[in-house]
Amino acid sequence: MKSPDKKTILFRKGRALLIIRKLKKLFPKAHIVLHYSNPFELLVAVILSAQTTDRQVNKVTVNLFEKYKTLDDYVNADVKEFEKDIHSTGFYHNKAKHILEAAKIIKEKFHGKVPDTMEGLLSLPGVARKTANVVLGNAYGKVEGIAVDTHVRRLSKVLRFTDETDPVKIERDLMAILPKKEWFDFTYRIIEYGRNYCIAKAHDHVNCPLSQFHTQV
């Protein structure tokens, strides 16, 4: 699907500003809910969050981060044991493989420091733009894009910010219509909107504060 034309972008920009204003009132202090104490723990938590809830990840990382305190603990971890440690987050084979491989690459290639660039993060196994944006924004205060998780993906369609389904193209469309100063907070406000009002299960939207924007083309 081709990029939106200028007329569509202009229309979406105007509507986006109204929606952002409402989201700020609804969720003035929205923020990441994953628990972590350093950039690598954040990276681990975000990788674990794929296809599961942040609440479930936080349950797992309470013990995980107590057991694996340093980068070397991950580098030297037994993969089968690590899989058991993260089993309840689902897709634990791939998640364990990605996390432990990332630990080794970070130690060997990045001198023990989680990369603070988009390019560096995307070179790690299991890291796509969503994860990279979350780590950059929360660990380093760098905003290079918009993290498109399941809530952002779904609600960007509901709010007619995009006609795309691919996260990378959705991010492109959002970056074209949202002021850059709003990129970081937008993700967490939309997530809270999805959790508290416009849930993924079928509903009539009567109690969705942004329902007036749902049906506009």
Task: Please provide the DSSP assignment of 59-104 as one string.
Answer: HHHHHHHHH--SHHHHHT--HHHHHHHHGGGS-HHHHHHHHHHHHH
- The structure tokens 């609804």 sit at 26
Per-residue pLDDT tens digits of the chain, which is 217 residues long: 568 889 999 999 999 999 999 999 999 999 999 999 999 999 999 999 999 999 999 999 999 999 999 999 999 999 999 999 999 999 999 999 999 999 999 999 999 999 999 999 999 999 999 999 999 999 999 999 999 999 999 999 999 999 999 999 999 999 999 999 999 999 999 999 999 999 999 888 888 999 999 854 3
Catalytic residue annotation:
130, 149
Rounded alpha-carbon distances, angstroms, from residue 131 to 40, 128, 190, 201: 12, 6, 17, 25
d(CA 120, CA 114): 8
| Nearest partner of 194 among 147, 158, 166, judged by Cα | 158
Question: What distance in Å separates the CA atoms of residue 193 and residue 136, rounded to the nearest whole number?
Answer: 23
Position 157: which residue type?
Answer: K
Q: Are 151 and 191 in contact (CB under 8 A)?
A: yes
Structural domains in the chain, CATH included, are 6-30+149-213 (1.10.1670.10), 39-140 (1.10.340.30)
- 32: alpha, beta or left, given left = phi > 0 and alpha = psi -120 to 50? beta
